């Protein structure tokens, strides 16, 4: 099938490459000429495991093309995905900024030829798909199209696997014809017996926000339990196992840590709160999850300060990891962005390593020292903080780390190491919610 994807950001690029791999004929379109010319040169602007290879393979095999020409790419396509960015609005009020989506809708409307489905893939407030359909109809009353909402559930760092083997596919499509085209697009997933949820546009849009909000609530819940465990002498890892084995609760997303970050949970929880507020409905559980998350990050600052005896002046803090999770170069709303500046402001030197995030971080925090590996981050440090659980931080030579540090103090914000082992090795070891 001939498919066009508008927007070559994270979602657009992954969707384009994966649909090409399914066998479709994909054109990825973006207005940003430099982005498209880099892609045409084989350069992938984001770090996502497996993506560069998938793009290269499908370009070589003739199923994936890149262009800045909207007219050529939209005319004749059976399906057009809108995957442009929906950042939080510049007003800072938590609303999603829909400028790019609406602009894309008005423009693509003029180039539709024959029956086409227009699919909203970006995360958007409830009602957006219907508004996009209205804008297309206004711009081109002759257009023969159906509007579809098809939210994505891709995790950064695991996006290719998530696309190719999803837990479910949600399709808001209100005509049988549109549902038929969507079934054809995702045909390979039917062979894997992937569940499909066909629904109306509004429900599909809300499913996306509700999924991210629920997962955020789960994380904030376990973070609160971790704090309680610390006070009563219980162990949150056992607690998570003990509750997670109940099939109604489920074991996933019960890892305590420095708080959730990234480009989705922080933005989408706040956007859902705005949607609820606008509609006169309370969403107190989501509100609590957001507040707990802010408190969790502040709690991590205190944890690090306390282990250093409260005085940070002249201390060196080694940091392992800056990105909001492993296998990404994404720093957006990463807990490190909230945790490290207050420590630096109180006089500590921050000495950090991250496998992918240092280029971006050095633009935000030129005052930190960026080093080449974990051992350099530990050298001369008064405390070593494991912030992001990259694989390369999971099997450190701890004797070597200890010998390099000014004093053997380890703060493990991801509960990677065993408290017993760390103490046996002679570390003062602090983690999250464990004795």
Q: Among 63, 121, 255, 353, which residue interacts with ligand UGA (rule: CB under 6 A)?
A: 255
Report helix, strand or coil for 173: strand
Rounded Cα gap, residues 132 and 129, in angstroms: 5
Q: How far is the CB of 170 from ligand UGA (least distance, A)?
A: 11
Report helix, strand or coil for 389: coil
Q: Among 213, 254, 270, 377, which residue interacts with ligand UGA (rule: CB under 6 A)?
A: 254
Tell me: does residue 257 bind ligand UGA (CB under 6 A).
yes
**For residues 405 and 384, is the Cβ–Cβ distance under 8 A?**
yes
Q: How far is the CB of 155 from ligand UGA (least distance, A)?
A: 4
Using alpha carbons, select from 292, 375, 360, 291 the residue that is nearest to residue 323. Answer: 360
Q: Among 8, 212, 316, 374, which residue interacts with ligand UGA (rule: CB under 6 A)?
A: 212
250: left (phi over 0), alpha (psi -120 to 50) or beta: left
Tell me: does residue 209 bind ligand UGA (CB under 6 A).
no
Q: Which of residues 321-340 bind ligand UGA (CB under 6 A)?
A: 324-325
Rounded Cα gap, residues 70 and 72, in angstroms: 6
Q: Among 219, 229, 312, 405, which residue interacts with ligand UGA (rule: CB under 6 A)?
A: 219
**264: annotated active-site residue:** yes
Tell me: does residue 264 bind ligand UGA (CB under 6 A).
yes
Catalytic pick among 18, 28, 229, 264: 264
Report the alpha-carbon angle 297-301-307, nearest 5: 140
**For ligand UGA, which stretch binds (CB under 6 A), given 40-48, 68-76, 104-112, 257-265?**
257-265
How does DSSP assign 187-221, residue by residue?
HHHHHTT--EEEE-HHHHHHHHHHHHHHHHHHHHH
**For ligand UGA, which stretch binds (CB under 6 A), given 112-120, 148-156, 274-282, 378-386?**
148-156
Q: Among 261, 318, 408, 433, which residue interacts with ligand UGA (rule: CB under 6 A)?
A: 261
Take residue 111 and report the two structure tokens written for it.
């180039």
Using alpha carbons, select from 131, 106, 135, 105 the residue that is nearest to residue 118. Answer: 105
Radius of gyration of the chain (CA): 24
Q: Among 14, 154, 189, 348, which residue interacts with ligand UGA (rule: CB under 6 A)?
A: 154
Q: How far is the CB of 326 from ligand UGA (least distance, A)?
A: 9
* Paired strand residues for 349: 316
Report helix, strand or coil for 355: coil
Using alpha carbons, select from 328, 386, 361, 37 the residue that is nearest to residue 156. Answer: 328
Q: Among 66, 221, 260, 368, which residue interacts with ligand UGA (rule: CB under 6 A)?
A: 260
Q: How far is the CB of 90 from ligand UGA (least distance, A)?
A: 20
Rounded Cα gap, residues 118 and 78, in angstroms: 9
Q: Among 152, 224, 235, 354, which residue interacts with ligand UGA (rule: CB under 6 A)?
A: 152
User: 256 or 408, CB closer to ligand UGA?
Assistant: 256
User: 21 or 152, CB closer to ligand UGA?
Assistant: 152
Take residue 397 and report the two structure tokens written for it.
């030579």
User: 328 or 351, CB closer to ligand UGA?
Assistant: 328
Q: How far is the CB of 260 from ligand UGA (least distance, A)?
A: 3
Tell me: does residue 155 bind ligand UGA (CB under 6 A).
yes
Tell me: does residue 220 bind ligand UGA (CB under 6 A).
no
Burial of 167 (0-12, 13-18, 19+ CB in 10 A): exposed
**For ligand UGA, which stretch binds (CB under 6 A), given 95-103, 185-193, 228-236, 259-267?**
259-267
Rounded Cα gap, residues 1 and 106, in angstroms: 24
Rounded Cα gap, residues 250 and 248, in angstroms: 6
User: 318 or 321, CB closer to ligand UGA?
Assistant: 321
**For ligand UGA, which stretch binds (CB under 6 A), given 99-107, 251-259, 298-306, 390-398?**
251-259
Tell me: does residue 118 bind ligand UGA (CB under 6 A).
no
User: 254 or 405, CB closer to ligand UGA?
Assistant: 254
**For residues 222 and 254, is the Cβ–Cβ distance under 8 A?**
yes
Tell me: does residue 156 bind ligand UGA (CB under 6 A).
yes
Q: Which residues bind ligand UGA (CB under 6 A)?
A: 123, 152-156, 212, 215, 219, 253-255, 257, 260-262, 264-265, 268, 324-325
Question: Active-site positions?
Answer: 264
């Amino acid at each position: 099938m001939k498919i066009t994807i508008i927007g070559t950001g994270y979602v657009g690029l992954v969707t384009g490459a994966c649909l090409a791999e399914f066998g479709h004929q994909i054109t990825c379109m973006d207005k940003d000429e430099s982005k498209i010319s880099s892609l045409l040169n084989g350069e992938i602007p984001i770090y996502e495991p497996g993506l560069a290879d998938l793009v290269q393979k499908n370009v070589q095999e003739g199923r994936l093309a890149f262009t800045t020409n909207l007219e050529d790419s939209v005319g004749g396509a059976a399906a057009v995905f809108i995957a442009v960015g929906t950042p939080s609005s510049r007003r800072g009020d938590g609303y999603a900024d829909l400028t790019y989506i609406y602009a894309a809708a008005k423009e693509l409307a003029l180039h539709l030829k024959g029956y086409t489905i227009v699919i909203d893939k970006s995360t958007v407030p409830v009602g957006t798909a219907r508004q996009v359909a209205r804008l297309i109809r206004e711009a081109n009353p002759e257009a023969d199209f159906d509007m579809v909402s098809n939210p994505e559930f891709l995790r950064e760092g695991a996006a290719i696997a998530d696309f190719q083997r999803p837990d479910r596919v949600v399709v808001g499509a209100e005509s049988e014809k549109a549902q038929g085209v969507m079934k054809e697009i995702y045909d390979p997933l039917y062979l894997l017996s992937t569940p499909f949820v066909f629904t109306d546009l509004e429900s599909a849009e809300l499913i996306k926000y509700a999924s991210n909000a629920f997962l955020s609530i789960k994380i904030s819940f376990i973070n609160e339990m971790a704090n309680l465990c610390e006070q009563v002498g219980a162990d949150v890892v056992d607690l998570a196992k003990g509750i997670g084995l109940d099939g109604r609760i489920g074991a996933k997303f019960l890892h305590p840590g420095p708080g959730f970050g990234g480009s989705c949970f922080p933005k989408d929880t706040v956007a859902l709160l705005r949607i609820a507020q606008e509609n006169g409905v309370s969403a107190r559980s989501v509100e609590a999850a957001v507040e707990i998350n802010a408190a969790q990050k502040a709690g991590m600052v205190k944890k690090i300060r306390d282990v250093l005896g409260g005085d940070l002046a002249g201390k060196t803090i080694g940091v392992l990891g800056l990105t909001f999770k492993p296998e990404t170069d994404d720093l957006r709303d990463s807990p490190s962005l909230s945790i490290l500046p207050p420590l630096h402001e109180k006089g500590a030197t921050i000495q950090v390593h991250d496998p992918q995030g240092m280029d971006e971080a050095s633009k935000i925090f030129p005052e930190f020292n960026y080093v080449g590996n974990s051992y350099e981050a530990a050298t001369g440090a008064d405390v070593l903080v494991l912030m992001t659980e990259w694989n390369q931080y999971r099997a450190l030579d701890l004797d070597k780390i200890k010998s390099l540090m000014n004093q053997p103090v380890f703060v493990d914000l991801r509960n990677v190491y065993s408290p017993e082992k760390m103490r046996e090795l002679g570390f003062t070891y602090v983690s999250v919610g464990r004795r």
